[in-house]
Structure 1
Amino acid sequence: MTLKFAPKNKVFLYVIFAIINALGNVTVAYTSKIMLDLAQYRKGKLNDLILVACVGAGTIILIMLANFIYRYIKVDLVRTINVVLKDKTMTYLVNKRDVSQKEGLSLMTNDLKQIETLKITNELMIISELVSFVISIVVGILNSWILTLIFLATTLIPGFVQKWFAKPIQKRSGQWEKANAEYTQKVSDALNGSRTTNLYDAQVPVISQVVESAKRMELALRRLNYAQQGAYEIIVAVADIFSFIIPFLVGSILMYQGWFGAGTLIMIVQLSNEFVNPIVNIFDQINAIKSTKPMWDKIEPALTYNFVASHEFSDILEELEITDVSYTVNGRQLFNNLSLKIEPGQKVLLMAPSGWGKTTFLQLLMGQLKPSHGQVIINHKDMSGNYQEAHNFFGYINQRPFIFDNNLKFNLTLGREVLDADLSEAIKLAGLSELVAEKGLDYELGEAGSNLSGGQIQRIEIARALLFKRPILLADEATSALDPAMSLAIHKTLLNNKDITVLEVAHKITDDETKMFDRIVHLDKLVAE
């Protein structure tokens, strides 16, 4: 149930105002009874009828005003639960990193939207329907228990009909979810690949793929909606016959025999809407909730995921040693029994033939991958495959940095609080001073850094690494997008810093830059020059 993610005080207020909301129909029914009894048995004066009508109308107005609060609480609960679900799901996706972009995008948009529409809202409505049902039953029993029980007994019949439709609806919901995920991916591919598509004039077949997937998705959605609506129509018809016409017939016979007056019958009939309709609605809402099971199953791991923020490690490197490390992927051994010891503060250039697995080696150091054999020792502790702890020792300069669709400051700090002096120093060392002076830190970089040059994007990645002051800096083709002069300046910045250990993988590097390293390690030969 999604309501467990809402504050208890809000849920309590919702129940209170749901009770007030339910009193609207009771007020109409009870007012009708009193007025009919006064008229049928000629009790009191005409003014009494007017007074009863005025009191009833005034009560309804007060209930209407309370219903504004009721509806506000309802939409606020939906908003609150949605935010919690999005927070938990996004936390899970970012930290687990074992879900594809396609699946993650579908989870955060389509699936959570379906859960909002069909699960959260319907869970809230079930509470309202139950409250209305209970209050109407209590009032009905107090006025005519036998007639109330007759109407009540017949409301059970739609429940048996509802059970016939649960599994077919769940099946069609799963088919729609699968088709929707495929459509989302096709749209994403078409948008991301638009440049290639336009270059080779392939717009028609690419767009056709999206349209065909849209047709399959809409067909699956139509089948799901038709199954839900068909079930609803059958349940309503059964409810009308067995929960209204038949008990009304029995009530008319009892009234004809003098068991009670017209006012009581009309009151129970009026209340019977709240015997029948809530039950019908609840069954329909349960079907809608069940249709979200495929989506809920996918986000459920995120709801139980316990994210523990990394605690700060010492910024001092005492030891980095790779001992007999081997790594095999898809049956192919990239390297075998690799041993290497790095001294604190060393600047090491890592070289190997193309395809050897240099980037994979860097991922092993950070704990993103676990060696098939051997150990990665950091500060006398085995960190093999332990990304949670190991990553705190590393900064990483990627060959293809990721740029958020946000401003320059956010892309440098990643939203974390940093000292202005540290930020200014990182900007200066990374060669971004001119950009900051011209555009400012609030400069919007655009999607994937569309407002920047390749060199500026690379310098932002370097500034990030410098800003967070990790003791080990891994550089994967760190200056490949920079001109020779800027590349040399960046290497001077990185390699003359005595406080950090640098391990760099590079192909495009000048002799002057090569001479700045303390060691050159040929990983395929493990021969230091």
Structure 2
Amino acid sequence: MIIKYSHPWKIALYVFFAFLKSLQVVFAAFIFQKFIDFAQKPQGSLIKLTVFAVCGLLIFGIVGVIYQYFYYKIIEEINLNLKSASANYLVNNYAGHNEIDSSFMTNDLKQIETNSIEAELSIISDLIQFLAAVVSAFVSSWIIALVFLIASFTPAVIQSVFGPKIEKNSEKWEKSNSNYTNTVIETHSGAEMANIYDVQFSMVNRLIKAAKLMETALFKTNWTKGMSNEMTMIVAYIFSMFLPFAIGISFIVSGRLTLGTFMMIAQLANNFINPVVGIFGSVNDIKTAKPILQKIKKIDLLIKPQGSKTATASDTFQSLQLTDAGVSLGKQKIFANVNLKIDSGEKFSCKPHQVGENQLY
């Protein structure tokens, strides 16, 4: 989505600032190590170390603000492009195809923003953060870093179990949501007719039934996704935190690793776990949006052959000039000997006048 509907330079800048932002975790872990080492064996100045830490975090704060700007700017651009394509399709209705409706324009496009665009941007950010943490940890101690790294991929097992079910439930919810929106519109437009024929009860029941089907489908989708995320988190903590911690402490006891270095790797390991969990959560979100994405693909296929014309100055009305113009309807003259020039934004009116037996304007 982001490659197809956003400018490459914006994506490149987003990736660049996402990389700089990911170094904030590395910097914080490094400072954390220095504080622990200073507590165990004071060397240098604690004040200088503190000032260095604060200044560094302020710089990363500025980087984070710029990162957020490009994050939301890309979302804005993609949303506008999607709405433009959808509006083009909706107005022209390409050969009677009915891929979108009011539900798509109001609800589905918002789902695309949350469950597809934001999810793809989050995957990029999480992946960069994951790589930055892994490289830094391996530089400190490759053995402990390798233990944390292997353990961090255990959530993939949970994803493989729940992924297909999430996708199936989301398809049912999308259909139910579309049906509910159409039922609301039909109920609103038919309310007066229902009062005339005394069928209010039936129309209300029909709307309630559609709402129940939609909410039930939404519950199943959200519950399956929530259960997957919770199970992923539990497995991640067991295999990516507790077991590696046990191994790391044994290294400290045996003198093969300092406490400061281990705590630095442990802190970086959070960015093994959290980005991986975040990536799998974003993948779940994208699976939820898959039925809507299929509609967008169909719309693109229908619009592309027609071509999309960009409005230019020549497409906009500038002026109209008539010289000795006349219009006849059968033998009756409607206009005769008309000379005028109308510029954009002007208004004019004509009064009838008699010429012989004909009334001209």
TM-score tier, shorter chain, comes to 0.7 to 0.9
Conserved? CA contact 1:89–1:303, under 8 Å: no
Map of 2:81 onto structure 1: 84
Map 1:209-224 → 2, pairs under 5 A: 209-224=206-221
Determine the C-alpha separation between the residues in 1 that align with 2:245 and 2:19: 27
Q: How does 1:440-479 map to 2 (within 5 A)?
A: none
Deviation, structure 1 residue 303: 2.4
Query: Taking structure 1 as reference, are residues 95 and 196 closer, same or farther at Cα in structure 2, changes over 3 Å only?
Result: closer
Q: 1:32-47 residue pairs with structure 2 within 5 A?
A: 32-44=32-44
State whether residues 100 and 295 of structure 2, in contact with CA within 8 Å, keep that contact through their aligned partners in structure 1: no
CA distance 1:99–1:66, change in 2 (3 Å) = same
Shift of 1:496: 5.1
TM-score by length of 1: 0.58
RMSD: 2.7
User: 1:14 aligned to 2:14?
Assistant: yes
Equivalent in the alignment of 1:230? 227
Q: Would you say the 8 A contact 1:85–1:303 is kept in 2?
A: no
Secondary structure of the corresponding residue to residue 271 of structure 2: helix
Distance 1:422 1:6 in 2: 42
Query: Contact 1:6–1:81 at 8 Å: present in 2 too?
Result: yes
Note the 1:10-409 alignment, pairs <5 A.
Answer: 10-44=10-44, 48-93=45-90, 94-100=92-98, 103-304=100-301, 305-306=303-304, 308=306
AA partner of residue 119 (structure 1) = S
Which secondary structure state, in structure 1, belongs to the residue aligned with residue 23 of structure 2?
Answer: helix
Tell me the TM-score normalized by structure 2. 0.83
CA distance in 2, matches of 1:251, 1:11: 39
Q: How big is each residue's C-alpha offset from its partner over 1:4-24, in whole Å with a ceiling of 9 and x where there is no partner?
A: 211111111111111122122
**5+ residue gaps in structure 2?**
310-314, 336-361
Residue in 1 aligned with 2:338?
Answer: none
Letter of the structure 2 residue corresponding to residue 136 of structure 1: A
In 2, are the aligned partners of 1:14 and 1:73 still within 8 Å (CA)? yes
Question: Secondary structure of the residue that 1:165 maps to in structure 2?
Answer: helix
Q: Aligned-pair distance for 1:112?
A: 1.6
Shift of 1:190: 1.2
Distance 1:493 1:18, change over 3 A: farther
Q: Over residues 168-194 of structure 1, what are the superposed CA-to-partner deviations in whole Å (9 max), with x where a residue is unaligned?
A: 001100110110111011011012223
Return closer, same or farther for 1:234/1:192 CA change in 2, 3 Å cut-off.
same
**AA aligned opposite 1:25:** V
User: Post-superposition shift, 1:103?
Assistant: 3.8
Cα distance between partner residues in 2 of 1:261 and 1:494: 105
Instruction: Kindly tell me the number of residue pairs found equivalent between the two proteins.
Output: 326
Distance 1:418 1:43 in 2: 77
Q: Could you report, residue by residue, the CA deviation over 1:38-57 in whole angstroms, capped at 9, with x for unpaired residues?
A: 2223333xxx2221122112
CA distance in 1, matches of 2:73, 2:249: 45
The separation in 1 between residues aligned to 2:331 and 2:152, in whole angstroms, is 77
Q: d(CA) in 1 for partners of 2:11 and 2:134?
A: 23
Is the CA contact (8 Å cut-off) linking 2:2 and 2:74 kept in structure 1?
no
Quote the Cα distance in structure 2 between the aligned partners of 1:224 and 1:167: 11
SS at the partner of 1:164?
helix
Q: Distance in 2 between matches of 1:128 and 1:165?
A: 24
In 1: Cα distance, 2:205 partner to 2:170 partner: 25
- Considering fraction of residues, name the structure with more helix: 2
| Aligned-partner SS, 2:316 | coil
In the alignment, structure 1 residue 418 sits paired with structure 2 residue 317: yes
Secondary structure in structure 2 of the residue aligned to 1:215: helix
Q: Deviations over 1:463-497 (max 9, x none)?
A: xxx9xxxxxxxxxxxxxxxxxxxxxxxx9599757
Q: Return the alpha-carbon distance in structure 2 between the equivalents of residues 192 and 497 of structure 1.
A: 42
Larger Rg: 1
Any idea what the Cα deviations from partners look like across 1:136-182, whole Å, max 9, x if unmatched? 11111111111111100111111122111111001100110110111
Within 2, Cα distance between the matches of 1:495 and 1:270? Answer: 90
Q: Distance in 2 between matches of 1:247 and 1:25?
A: 20
Separation (CA, whole Å) in 2 of partners of 1:169 and 1:266: 37
Query: What is the identity percentage for the equivalent residue pairs of Structure 1 and Structure 2?
Result: 34
Q: 1:422, 1:310 → 2: CA distance? A: 30
- Report the Cα distance in structure 2 between the residues aligned to 1:494 and 1:22, rounded to whole angstroms: 81
Unaligned 5+ runs, structure 1: 312-415, 424-428, 430-465, 467-490, 499-529
Which secondary structure state, in structure 1, belongs to the residue aligned with residue 161 of structure 2? coil
Letter aligned with residue 279 of structure 1: V
Checking the alignment, whether the CA contact within 8 Å between 1:91 and 1:307 is kept in structure 2 is no
**5 Å matches for 1:422-441?**
none
Q: 1:61 is aligned with what amino acid?
A: L
